[in-house]
Amino acid sequence: MKVLVIGGGGREHAICSSVKKSKKVTKIFCAPGNAGTAGIAENVNISADDLEGLMNFAIDNAIDLTIVGPEAPLTAGIVDLFTENELKIFGPCEDAAQMEGSKIFTKNLLKKNNIPTAEFGEFDSEKPALEYINNNKKYPVVVKADGLAAGKGVIICQNQQEAISAVNDIMVKKEFGEAGSRIVIEEFLEGEEASILAFTDGETIIPLPPSQDHKRIFDNDEGPNTGGMGAYAPTPLIKPDMLEKIEKEILAATVNGLKREGITYRGILYAGLMITKDGPKVLEYNVRFGDPETQVVLPLIKSDIVDVFLACIEGKLNEIELEIHNKSAICVVMAAKGYPGAYEKGREIKGLDSFEGREDVMVFHAGTKKDGNKIVTSGGRVLALTAVDNTIDGAIKKVYDEIGKISFEGAQFRHDIGKRAGKY
Ligand code: AMP
Ligand code: GLY
């Protein structure tokens, strides 16, 4: 089989690595890929947003299976386009991808199906939003742009003044562009966050080991938010009985709710949850693999992942017995100096060779590219070192024992990834 992976981050490098383990696969392409994917796939210089270009490439190269990494092509309808052209593609159709593309769509679906989530109001103009804030007594409150805002359209407001400014920034100043022409204002939930990624074909749901992202740039969850500085799985925050409850009352309730709207969800359904004192509540849905959660959940899958992708597409997920290693995985992101603000590029990365061929410690590239014989930094999140071990403590020790082998000027990473596992 020939496989095309769309995207160019750490998540896509991890997807390519898992696909490569399949005996069915003879060739992998990655569009546009990075210096890491270049080692196991052929990088193709087509952007993840160029739907027509990707489709023509898939037709011309007789691609048997395409896997979509990022959300933008999904919300733009890449799955519908490929499917109309009889190409197999893993991911939800455009209607289903609204689950990430519109917070208002998701909040209403959750409410209609009694799925636990924060209380909210939805607004398409400033005046009623300000009235709602005027009547609101409880702070903090969360103001969110409805559409895709590259993970930035969420503002946590500590008081009325901040909430008024947030509405103004999003709806009047249009800081997130058209994504902010509608907004959600919602109750602030207290608790611990977890990510549940699940395979589904619209009928059967198979959750992957629960994980936790670490969004802030500095240790102890300090400093500004980032795309994610590290993750680990499975997290003991979600015990097996809670996972069962999440599967039934949240994931299945969502997939069935969508079905009643005439939408079959096929692909990865990623629930961002807050585990509150009243139980798990949905913060958001993403319609794709998480980054960096993918870098820790995929190495824990023992089964041939290509079989799972195909079963989701063909509506045969009930035939899959997903085998998971009884191990833990952790990944620590190394980021460029300045990230998440303006960051440096073009710094040579040294020490990558020492990880070649290893399965217990892997480097997943994100913002890297080849420059002659060198590999240099080309993004904010540069790479993630992932370690697998029998226990989370073992995995933590392994990753931090080895991370010093990789270096580039200005590299920054957190020293406490996975540490919070110890408190649950
Ligand atoms: P979202 O894109 O909706 O997941 O929001 C991004 C981040 O903002 C989440 O991962 C949470 O850390 C935080 N957040 C969003 N909504 C809430 C909420 N209702 N209560 C508390 N924190 C929230
Ligand atoms: N880990 C956050 C995300 O993938 O959106």
- The neighbour count for residue 424, using CB atoms within 10 Å, is 12
| β-strand pairing of 2-7 with 27-32 | parallel
Which ligand is the nearest neighbour of the Cα of 116?
Answer: 1
Instruction: Judge if 50 and 173 occupy the same domain.
Output: no
- Compute CA distances 83 → 56, 315, 347, 420, whole Å: 13, 14, 41, 42
Total structural domains in the chain? 3
Distance (angstroms) between ligand 2 centre and the Cα of 283 equals 12
The reply to whether ligand 2 has any atom less than 6 angstroms from the CB of 293 is yes
In this structure, are residues 199 and 308 in contact, taking their beta carbons and an 8 Å threshold? yes
The reply to whether ligand 2 has any atom less than 6 angstroms from the CB of 290 is yes
Measured distance CA(117)–CA(414) in Å, rounded: 30
Instruction: Judge if 131 and 265 occupy the same domain.
Output: no
Mutation choice for ligand 1 from 154, 170, 291, CB with most ligand atoms inside 8 A: 154
CA 154 to chain CA mean position, Å:
16
Instruction: Judge if 71 and 165 occupy the same domain.
Output: no
Expressed as residue numbers, the domain containing 147 is 125-181
Instruction: Judge if 394 and 272 occupy the same domain.
Output: yes
**Amino acid sitting at position 270:** Y
CA atoms within 13 A on the CB side of 269: 32
The domain that holds 144 is classified in CATH as 3.30.1490.20
Residue with the nearest Cα to atom 3 of ligand 2?
290
pLDDT computed for residue 149 by the predictor: 84
Measured distance CA(269)–CA(290) in Å, rounded: 10
Each residue's pLDDT, cut to its tens digit, for the chain (424 residues) gives: 999 999 999 999 999 999 999 999 999 999 999 999 999 999 999 999 999 999 999 999 999 999 999 999 999 999 999 999 999 999 999 999 999 999 999 999 999 999 999 999 999 999 999 999 999 889 999 999 999 987 778 999 999 999 999 999 999 889 898 898 899 999 999 999 999 999 999 999 999 999 999 999 999 999 998 999 999 999 999 999 999 999 999 999 999 999 999 999 999 999 999 999 999 999 999 999 999 999 999 999 999 999 999 999 999 999 999 999 999 999 999 999 999 999 999 999 999 999 988 889 999 999 999 999 999 999 999 999 999 999 999 999 999 999 999 999 999 999 999 999 999 8
The domain that holds 331 is classified in CATH as 3.30.470.20
Instruction: Judge if 177 and 311 occupy the same domain.
Output: no
Distance (angstroms) between ligand 1 centre and the Cα of 284 equals 7
End position of a domain, from candidates 74, 91, 108: 91
